[in-house]
């Protein structure tokens, strides 16, 4: 999705901002990596910290992969597609120059901090926590 400063959000996939001949896939496989730790700080309270990068097999999470399109050969879809395909300040002189890096695929990373509060004590001890 993209926005040119107004309230309206546009689907960049439909606009073919790099002059693609076909639409790229919306769904891809991602390989999860990461690590985390969870600690029980009291009988009913725990905290966790998690870091998780994801390797994807697409270069279009951000709709940027290759070069700026040449509107004379393979134009983006309409005037709106042209506006989204070249977001440089002057808007000129960039045809076929590098817009993204097609040799690397996109990654994304998340970071999380959690607070866990147990609402009721179980009558049975939980041996995983170390608390009776």
Q: Please give the pLDDT value at position 23.
A: 86
**pLDDT band of 102, cuts 50, 70, 90:** confident
Q: Of the candidates 18, 22, 27, 28, which has an alpha carbon nearest to the alpha carbon of residue 95?
A: 18
Query: What's the whole-number mean pLDDT along residues 11-18?
Result: 85
Are the beta carbons of 12 and 87 closer than 8 angstroms? no
pLDDT of 130:
58
Cβ contact 47:116 at 8 Å: yes
Percentage of the chain beyond pLDDT 70 is: 87
- For 62, what's the count of Cα atoms within 13 Å in the CB-facing half-sphere? 12
SS (H, E, C) 102-130: CCCCCEEEEEEEEEEECCCCCCCCECCCC
């Amino acid at each position: 999705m993209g926005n040119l400063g107004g309230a309206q959000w546009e689907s960049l996939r439909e606009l073919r901002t790099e002059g693609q001949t076909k639409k790229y896939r919306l769904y891809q496989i991602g390989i999860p990596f990461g690590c985390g730790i969870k600690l029980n700080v009291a009988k009913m309270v725990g905290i966790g910290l998690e870091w998780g990068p994801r390797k994807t097999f697409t270069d279009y999470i951000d709709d940027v992969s290759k070069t700026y399109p040449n509107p004379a050969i393979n134009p983006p879809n309409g005037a709106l597609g042209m506006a989204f395909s070249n977001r440089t300040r002057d808007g000129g002189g960039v045809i076929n120059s590098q817009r993204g890096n097609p040799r690397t695929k996109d990654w994304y990373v998340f970071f999380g901090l959690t607070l866990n509060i147990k609402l009721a004590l179980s009558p049975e001890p939980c041996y995983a926590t170390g608390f009776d």
